[in-house]
Amino acid sequence: MAQPFCSIHDHEVRGFNLYLPDFVYGGIDGAVTTFAVVAGVAGASLGAGVVLILGTANLIADGFSMAVSNYLSVKSEREYYNQLLQTEKKEIKEIPEEERKEIRIIFQNKGFKGPLLSKVVDTITKNEQVWLDTMMVDELGLQKDKRSPTKSALSTFIAFVLMGSIALIPFALLYFLNTAIQNTFLIASILTLLALFIVGLIKGRVVKKNLLVAGLETALLGGIAASLAYGVGYLLALVV
């Protein structure tokens, strides 16, 4: 009878799916911020070399900054969770009856009554791990984060660099291969919108949203950010 309670909160996300939110987070920011740099420089009518220098600097610096922030965030959440977990574990050992009362109240509020309520409480409190998990989720509202801080940071950084570099491809061809590319900025814009659309599709999968809507939404919002950056660069070029 204990098995059903072991799986009450068992909706684990595993493998790469665990890090999809980090990938989406890094990918959207990488595409938008790098293209914003490209748009600003292009709006100021500066050369391909300047675009590459500023764009690459943004890729490395901002990508690393985001990765570090994500690492510290995940690490802090895990430390906070473990601290409260140890507190709950200590209370279960030192004041078990009080903790049993809390379990009873939790399931009373869920609609359990009479003998069934007593059976639920007895079943949960017979297994310390289930007891702990129930207290963490239902009393404190906390789920254990299964992510590795390092893998979260890497997912963010890789996505940032991967998606952000797309906007630089036409300028890299123009600068290094001396390839004559017409409408370089337009091509960079289309490629970036495509990258944002792809990231949006991934985001749609993560949040269980319509994929087409998620893709178009992400591309639209990213396009607005890029347009603002281009406009600022264009206006500054007129003033300076």
Range 25-41 average pLDDT: 84
Average of pLDDT values for 53-70? 92
What pTM does this model have?
0.76
Tokens of 107: 């399931």
Q: Say if residue 5's pLDDT is above 50.
A: no
pLDDT tens, residue by residue, 82-106:
888 888 888 888 888 888 888 888 8
Q: Express each pLDDT in 172-206 by its tens digit.
A: 888 887 765 567 888 888 898 898 898 888 888 77
Residue 181: which residues within 8 A CB-CB, separation 6 or more? 170, 173, 174, 187
How far apart CA 208 and CA 147 sit, in angstroms, is 20
- With cut-offs at 50, 70 and 90, classify the pLDDT of residue 3: very low
Contact yes or no for 139/23 (Cβ under 8 A): no
What gap in Å lies between CA 153 and CA 172, rounded to an integer? 27
Quote the pLDDT of residue 115. Answer: 85
* Nearest by Cα to 141 from 50, 68, 193, 80: 80
**Measured between alpha carbons, how far is 139 from 129 in angstroms, rounded to an integer?**
15
Amino acid at 48: A
Q: Domain residues of the chain, as ranges?
A: 23-239
